Amino acid sequence: MEKNEIFERYNDRTHVLGRLFSLITVVFLLASPFVIGVFIGAMPDIAAAMKGFVAVGIVWLVVSVVEFLVYTPMLGAGGSYLGFITGNLINMKMPCADNARDMTGAKVGTPENEIISTLAIATSALVTVAVLSAGVLLLQPLRPVLQSEVLRPAFANVVAALFGSLAYKYFSHHLKIAVFPLILMVVLFVFLPSLASSASIMMIPAGGLAILVAWLDFRKPISKFHS
Amino acid sequence: MSVFDLLNSAPVYVVCGSIIGFVALICIIFIVRAYRAGLAIGMERAKLNRVISSCIAFSVVPSIGILLGVIALSGSLGIPWPWLRLSVIGALHYETQVAEAAAEQLGASLNPSEMTAQVFSTVALLMSLCIVWEIILSALFNKSYLKKFKTGNSVSLEKKSKSGFADTAMASMFIGLISAYTGSYVGQFVSSGGLFSFKGDWIPLIVVTVSALTMCLFTWLEKSKKQAWLEGFSVAISMFAGMTAAVIIGLFR
């Protein structure tokens, strides 16, 4: 059998398995809150979840479309099915696949890249599962400490801590895009502090403004605010 | 039994562990298939082995960073759920944002004192609903989308997939999200006790500042001191620095 034929058969089968496993994973992920709900004695509030999805889910749908369009060709069939199922795509799977590609000299779009991306992402995911599982076992004795009153302010501010670290990362690279939405949001929340409980919804106008500025800059770079 | 005893109970571990086990099995199947196919199309065994061993070495350090993320979320969502989300589908920066936004829709937050069983199960459902789209898109369109790239040569494909406005648009959306939350912390401090009263909660602002400064330090170490290995830890450790500042302020308040 010719190498091309072998690879095509492998690729077709990858799509069959990838689709099957992807759909099973989606079912598991969507069912898990209900199964856990049985054990903890509280089922999800579907109406509240739907309301929340309309408010915040649409944004993630757009992010998902963009990530799908950008990363699928770079990772190939097997790599992208696995990458989307196993997550941590930008912070780990992409750099890992890139590193493997560089090391072997494989070019994007070739059968070699398909094989190497799949091996890289699957291996990387297994390492994460192993490290996290070992860590979670070790965490068990620390539960009383993690739930102590002293540490409560830390967990109450986990979101602020995340946005602080991401703010530096994104703002330092895209200062000219960040200036306008940041000023708009500060002014808005100072004059309407009651909006704080709907901060996630306010990302729609803030994100829209950021995309508009980015688009204008993309077409004609703004020289004033070079970062 | 408190809500956190329930969230950390054995049945929840079994549910989350089973899904993680299933995904690990998928990875093993794909490794075996790719390895065999690689040999069949003439790739060297040594090259394939080198890819696997280098990926193991490459992934250990970032995985420890991800584990720190599990610890960061465990105080709000228990241990098994973050273990599942960060092992299987999510990433630390997505999970925290979606969880907070989901809790917000229920009139709650990730503050452990506001967590109830009902809030948790609804937050968990919304987190799943928000983040499964890449898998669904991949299941539906992966094959047809990749076919479009088959005609071009590999170099043009690489250029095509890396270029364009998409990356900037995605970064802009994150900038919008970060701006909204940062603005809300400023607004809460400046005006929540009355317009320009400056009597609101200032801890989130300190936390944001400490986390950002820590991130700045990490970026400097990575770029100026060539410590690239720190990249996998930078977000998680910056978060821990901010959270530690909140604990220290809490002790002296």
Q: DSSP states of A153-194 as a string?
A: HHHHTHHHHHHHHHHHHHHHHSHHHHHHHHHHHHHHHHH-GG
Q: What is the C-alpha radius of gyration for chain B, rounded to an integer number of angstroms?
A: 22
- Mean pLDDT over residues A140-155, rounded? 80
Res B251: pLDDT: 92
Q: How far apart are CA B169 and CA A211, in angstroms?
A: 6
Q: B62, A44: Cβ pair inside 8 Å?
A: no
CB neighbours (10 Å) of residue B38? 24
Structure tokens at A24: 């099973």
Residue of B143, B37, B51, B32 lying closest to A76 (CA atoms)? B143
Res B161: pLDDT: 47
Res B160: pLDDT: 47
Among left, alpha and beta (phi > 0; psi -120 to 50; other), residue A16 is alpha
Res B166: pLDDT: 66
What distance in Å separates residue B117's CA from the closest CA in chain A?
A: 6
Q: How far apart are CA B182 and CA A186, in angstroms?
A: 7
Of B29, B80, B242, the CB nearest to A160: B242
Which residue does chain B place closest to A64, by CA atoms?
B134
Q: Write the DSSP assignment of chain B as a string of letters.
A: --HHHHHTSHHHHHHHHHHHHHHHHHHHHHHHHHHHHHHHTT--HHHHHHHHHHHHHHHHHHHHHHHHHHHHHHHHH-SHHHHHHHHHT--HHHHHHHHHHHHHHTT--S-GGG--HHHHHHHHHHHHHHH-HHHHHHHHHHHHHHHTTSSS-HHHHHHHHH-SSHHHHHHHHHHHHHHHHHHHHHHHHHHTTSTT---S--HHHHHHHHHHHHHHHHHHHHHTS--GGGHHHHHHHHHHHHHHHHHHHHHH-
Q: A160, B208: Cβ pair inside 8 Å?
A: yes
Yes or no: say if A35 and B138 are a contact pair by the CB < 8 Å rule: no
Structure tokens at A93: 């799977």
Structure tokens at B179: 């701006």
Q: Which residue has the higher pLDDT, A191 or A98?
A: A191
Enter the pTM of the model.
0.77
Chain B CB within 8 Å of residue A123 CB: yes
Chain B CB within 8 Å of residue A138 CB: no
Residue A226 scores a pLDDT above 60: no
pLDDT tens track, chain B, 253 positions: 788 889 999 999 999 999 999 999 999 999 999 999 999 999 999 999 999 998 898 788 778 878 888 888 888 899 999 999 998 887 776 777 778 777 877 777 777 777 889 889 998 998 899 889 999 999 999 999 988 776 444 444 444 444 467 667 767 877 888 899 899 999 999 998 888 999 999 999 999 999 999 999 999 998 898 887 777 678 778 888 998 999 999 998 7
Residue A136 scores a pLDDT above 70: yes
Q: What is the pLDDT of residues A83-133, one digit of tens each?
A: 999 988 876 788 788 778 878 888 777 899 899 999 999 999 999 999 999
Q: B187, A45: Cβ pair inside 8 Å?
A: no
Structure tokens at A161: 């801590």
CA count, 13 A, side-chain hemisphere, A48? 20
Residue of B203, B234, B237, B239 lying closest to B219 (CA atoms)? B234
What one-letter code names the amino acid at B67?
A: L
- Give the 3-state secondary structure of residue A94: helix
Q: A189, B184: Cβ pair inside 8 Å?
A: yes
What distance in Å separates residue A54's CA from the closest CA in chain B?
A: 10
Q: How many helices (H) and strands (E) does chain A have?
A: 10, 0
What distance in Å separates residue B82's CA from the closest CA in chain A?
A: 10
CB neighbours (10 Å) of residue A206? 28
Res A221: pLDDT: 65
Which residue does chain B place closest to A151, by CA atoms?
B247
Q: How far apart are CA B113 and CA A227, in angstroms?
A: 41
Interface test with A, best of B54, B59, B114 (most A CBs within 10 A): B59
Q: How far apart are CA A89 and CA A87, in angstroms?
A: 5
Q: How far apart are CA B187 and CA B252, in angstroms?
A: 24
Q: What is the pLDDT of residues A29-85, one digit of tens each?
A: 999 999 999 999 999 988 888 887 887 777 778 878 878 887 888 888 999 999 999
Q: How far apart are CA B253 and CA B251, in angstroms?
A: 6
Buried b (16+ CB within 10 A) or exposed e, B61-99: bbbbbbbbbbbbbbbbbbbbbbbbbbbbbbbbbbbbbbb
Output the CA–CA distances (angstroms, integers) from residue A197 to A52, A189, B105, B251, in the order listed. 13, 11, 9, 26
Q: How far apart are CA B52 and CA A104, in angstroms?
A: 12
Q: A153, B203: Cβ pair inside 8 Å?
A: yes
